[in-house]
Amino acid sequence: MVKERLVSHEIHLKQRPVGMPTEDNFQLVKVNIPDLKDGEFLVRNIWMSVDPYMRGRMREIRSYISPFQIGEPLEGGCIGQIIKSNNDRFTVGDYVLGNLGWREYWLSDGSGSDVMKIDPNLAPIQWYLGILGLTGLTAYVGLLKIAQLVDNSNSTIFVSAAAGAVGSVACQIAKIKGCRVIGSAGSQEKVKWLLDQAKVDHAFNYKEVGEGNISAELGKSCPGRIDIYFDNVGGKHLEAAIDNMKTFGRIVLCGMISQYNLTSTPTGPSNLFLAVPNRLKLQGFIVRDHYNMLNEFYVDMSKWIGEGKIKWRETVIEGIENAPKAFLSLFKGENIGKMLVKIGF
């Protein structure tokens, strides 16, 4: 009798995008799952994350992380449940966090730092991809470590892409720390969420304002100027923030989604010279360099969630076949909060 092999659906990179990616750049592929070796376990994915940084990995360029390969499955944060195991440390039924998203099943021996057990009783498991995962940690590190934000500093903070996954957490951490928070977003629905749920002090729709008028909008909403700018967008947002920074202001360079799909080299901020007389600090960061802050992050974030001080929003698309659609939606501004793909149950 022939043993029937388990089949996994995966999303492979079919070709490298030029400009804005399309669904034609991806391919849905069926692969057979090999038998488990000693020490291995098999995970059935339930949730996977899509994030803007993945666009950079679709280019074959030198970066802090290796590019995706043509004809191979993409990678990203995922949460699943172990359904088979030859490993004493990882047993059937355990939920695990890993980095092998964009597929229904994956094998591991549990070595390395990219696989860890999670407790489904502490929070919804998908939160470990968002508010209790690298998304939340990114906002936490950006404000507390890079911007050196302290309690009750009465700082004025501007956050771009403020209704996105990282931006929405950054806004709320800043409010917890006693700051005045201004956020930009790309729709009135997002502006409303920021005001009603995230409780920012002012929010505006940059599409209605117009990219050329963001600086003037900040001038009106921040008459005392900006202490900290948390940049997720780059481009005209960064330029407008530089116009309105206080002396010794800090700019946290977290992401530049406005430039990820450009086909030509963008010009830098035309007003970067203001960084010199205003003694501005501009610093980029990658969250993986700051895993030493994980324990304090978990303590603080768990406390804030328990106190009802953090509101969390997810945008969910179902089905592994729709993962490319979910990814592309990020660049169309169709998500509020974290964009997730639900693969299984």
* Domain residue ranges of the chain, discontinuous segments joined by +: 7-129+313-342, 134-288
Note the residue count of the chain: 345
Q: Is the dihedral of CA 175, 126, 75, 332 positive or negative?
A: negative
At residue 108, the pLDDT reads: 95
Mean pLDDT of 133-154: 95
CATH number, domain 134-288: 3.40.50.720
pLDDT band at 142 (very low <50, low <70, confident <90, very high): very high
Per-residue pLDDT tens over the stretch 215-268: 999 999 999 999 999 999 999 999 999 999 999 999 999 999 999 998 888 888
- Per-residue confidence band for 3, with pLDDT thresholds at 50, 70 and 90: low
Instruction: Please tell me the number of Cα atoms within 13 Å of 103 on its side-chain side.
Output: 23
Q: How confident is the model at residue 184 (pLDDT cuts 50, 70, 90)?
A: very high
Has residue 160 got a pLDDT over 70? yes
First to last CA, the chain: 31
Q: Is 210 left (phi over 0), alpha (psi -120 to 50) or beta?
A: left
1 has pLDDT over 70:
no
Domain 7-129+313-342 classification at class level: alpha beta
Closest CA to 135 of 301, 331, 261: 301
